[in-house]
Chain A
Amino acid sequence: MAETQQKKKGLGSVVISDERCKGCGFCVEFCPTDALKLSDQYNAKGYHPPVLVTQEKCNGCNMCGLLCPDFAIYGFMFKKKKK
């Protein structure tokens, strides 16, 4: 489980590098739309990485990406397909 990305609906999504996460919880606490939570799963170092629980809420503001001390998460906004 190197990099996971959830994408379905919403304005944006996040990319999470589970193995780099140290489970500090900054992204979960300060997500403006409460779209993240700490996973029940452990990574190899024994931390709980975040998961995107409500994808519809994520607007790709990249607040999590700015706050993450471990460069393990970043948000992005969906771009429309070029026609």
Chain B
Amino acid sequence: MSDELLDVDESMPTNTVEEFLRMERMPHIWCPGCGIGTTVNCFAHALETSGLDLRKVSVVSGIGCTGRVAGYLKLDSFHTTHGRAIPFATGLKLANPELKVVVYSGDGDLTAIGGNHFIHAARRNVDMTVILINNFIYGMTGGQVAPTTPLTATASTTPHGNFEEAFNLPYLAESCGAVYVARWTAYHVRHVTKAIKEALAKKGFSFVEILAPCPTLYSRRNKLGDGLDQMVYYKENSEVKNDIDTKTVSLSFQGKITVGKFVDKERPTYLDAMNEYYGKKFGDKYTPYKG
């Protein structure tokens, strides 16, 4: 080692993530080995590098383990009722179109209880970023089977294994009209950070699905080890296939995981479409809505 390298600045740098978090609420409630904290870390890094004005970013969460994210982020955040994160975010965006609205919630909250809102927000192309943490199960309420639980996986309500077909969320989002669809796992931290950054910059309904380990309920019931074992599984079984047809990316129990950026297209957003249509229809009599 050369002397030049040893001649370093001794001052201790601060953790850049901390300015995006409400550190007085730490430690958070998530279990040891849970992947949600990792995704929040990535989200904070994405915000840091995105150059967005933080006073104009708001985070909306629903109920569940991932629903707690809104409470830990030092942004304008709202913890809504179960499944209603997207309707709240739609209202927020329509009332103040200047805001960058991020919906950060879990698989059960967004696609089961709030499934209807999810498909309609994607259909209308409301300008928002949806970050969905998929841990395959209802984590907070005791490990009940969720619409994302893969076939044959055990949950507390399916003790002999799940026989319901699971949602293929990227396919659902694309077919409903989302303009940006990506899937990554909690292991792919750099990709997740990049995907969130791209989704934040995208105009329209952008959707990022992040698979995360649930060591306490999903892994323990299925005898898959702890959170670290699930992360190693993600590392070894993930195949990056960008721009692949989302029909082919469904998940199976402990099978291969297709990750990547699947969709990146342009479509007029809800407000743009409204202003354009009414502008044509009523001509000069119509004042375009700008909040």
Known contacts A22-B27, A22-B32; A67/B9 CB under 8 A: no
Bin the interface of chain B by size.
35 or more
Q: Determine if B260 is an interface residue (Cβ-Cβ < 8 Å).
A: no
Contact of B26 among A7, A10, A15, A71 (CB under 8 A): A71
B12, B27, B190 interface centre (most CB from chain A within 10 Å): B27
Q: Determine if B167 is an interface residue (Cβ-Cβ < 8 Å).
A: no
Contact of A74 among B5, B15, B37, B187 (CB under 8 A): B15
Contact with A along B219-239 (1 / 0, CB 8 A): 000000011100110010000
User: Is A29 in contact with B190, judged by CB distance below 8 angstroms?
Assistant: no
Q: Hey, which chain A residues are within 8 Å of B4, CB to CB?
A: 80
Segment at the A interface, from B38-46, B169-177, B203-211, B281-289: B38-46
User: Is A66 in contact with B42, judged by CB distance below 8 angstroms?
Assistant: yes
Q: Hey, which chain B residues are within 8 Å of A68, CB to CB?
A: 37-38, 41
Q: Determine if B64 is an interface residue (Cβ-Cβ < 8 Å).
A: no
User: Is B1 in contact with A56, judged by CB distance below 8 angstroms?
Assistant: yes
User: Is B41 in contact with A66, judged by CB distance below 8 angstroms?
Assistant: yes
User: Is A66 in contact with B9, judged by CB distance below 8 angstroms?
Assistant: no
User: Is A5 in contact with B12, judged by CB distance below 8 angstroms?
Assistant: yes
User: Is A71 in contact with B17, judged by CB distance below 8 angstroms?
Assistant: yes
Tell me the nearest residue of chain B to A19, going by C-beta: B27
Instruction: Kindly state the separation between the CA atoms of A47 and B30 in the bound complex, as whole angstroms.
Output: 15
Tell me whether chain A's interface is mostly helix, strand or loop, or mixed.
loop
Known contacts A47-B32, A66-B193; A30/B5 CB under 8 A: no
Instruction: Kindly state the separation between the CA atoms of A80 and B7 in the bound complex, as whole angstroms.
Output: 6
Known contacts A66-B42, A66-B190, A69-B30; A26/B15 CB under 8 A: no
User: Is A23 in contact with B32, judged by CB distance below 8 angstroms?
Assistant: yes
Q: Determine if B189 is an interface residue (Cβ-Cβ < 8 Å).
A: yes
Instruction: Kindly state the separation between the CA atoms of A70 and B27 in the bound complex, as whole angstroms.
Output: 7
Instruction: Kindly state the separation between the CA atoms of A43 and B28 in the bound complex, as whole angstroms.
Output: 16
Number of interface residues of A (CB under 8 A): 31
B8, B28, B228 interface centre (most CB from chain A within 10 Å): B8
User: Is B5 in contact with A11, judged by CB distance below 8 angstroms?
Assistant: yes
Contact of A70 among B37, B45, B187, B235 (CB under 8 A): B37
Instruction: Kindly state the separation between the CA atoms of A20 and B27 in the bound complex, as whole angstroms.
Output: 6
Q: Hey, which chain A residues are within 8 Å of B10, CB to CB?
A: 7
Known contacts A15-B15, A26-B228; A20/B26 CB under 8 A: yes
Instruction: Kindly state the separation between the CA atoms of A25 and B9 in the bound complex, as whole angstroms.
Output: 29
Instruction: Kindly state the separation between the CA atoms of A49 and B130 in the bound complex, as whole angstroms.
Output: 33
In the complex, chain A residues 3-30 whose Cβ is within 8 Å of any chain B Cβ: 5, 7, 9-11, 15, 20, 22-26, 29-30
Instruction: Kindly state the separation between the CA atoms of A69 and B4 in the bound complex, as whole angstroms.
Output: 35
A10 CB to nearest B CB, Å: 8
Contact with B along A60-79 (1 / 0, CB 8 A): 00010111111100101011
Q: Determine if B18 is an interface residue (Cβ-Cβ < 8 Å).
A: yes
For the complex of A and B, 4 pairs with smallest distance between CB atoms: A69-B37, A22-B32, A78-B8, A66-B189
15 other A-B residue contacts (CB within 8 Å) besides A66-B45, A66-B190: A7-B8, A15-B12, A15-B15, A24-B226, A25-B228, A26-B228, A47-B32, A63-B189, A65-B17, A65-B41, A69-B33, A70-B27, A71-B15, A78-B9, A81-B8
Give the A-binding residues of B (Cβ under 8 A): 1, 4-10, 12-13, 15-18, 21, 23, 26-28, 30-38, 40-42, 45, 187, 189-190, 193, 226-228, 231-232, 235
